[in-house]
Amino acid sequence: MSEVVKKANPGFVILAVLCLLGAVATFIPYKDIDDTCMLGYKALCAFTPISSLILIVLAAAFWFMRKKF
């Protein structure tokens, strides 16, 4: 009896990597921004620690969903 082996869905892997790249990109200092981020410097995203955490959680969710669908 052969088992059905599910392959990882590459779409979810790509989304997970993009979310992780976005999380890293939110920490990048950017001098042309008017407001400072929550960490006290001018970053690419004004909600840097919160947005990074959300993107990391999304990346983890996509990573775990890659074999379910």
Domain membership of residue 5 (yes or no) is no
Domain membership of residue 1 (yes or no) is no
Domain membership of residue 4 (yes or no) is no
Number of domains in the chain: 1
User: pTM (2 decimals)?
Assistant: 0.82
Would residue 2 be called left, alpha or beta, if left means φ above 0 and alpha means ψ between -120 and 50 degrees?
beta
Domain membership of residue 38 (yes or no) is yes
Q: State yes or no: pLDDT of 68 exceeds 70.
A: yes
> What pLDDT score does 1 carry?
55
Q: What is the pLDDT of residues 10-23, one digit of tens each?
A: 999 999 999 999 99
Which structural domain, as residue segments, surrounds residue 53?
Answer: 10-65
Q: At what angle do helices 10-25 and 48-65 cross, to 10 degrees?
A: 170
Q: CB–CB of 16/59 below 8 Å?
A: yes
Q: What is the pLDDT of residues 20-58, one digit of tens each?
A: 999 999 999 999 888 899 999 999 988 989 999 999 999
Domain membership of residue 47 (yes or no) is yes
> What pLDDT score does 24 carry?
96
Q: State yes or no: pLDDT of 64 exceeds 70.
A: yes
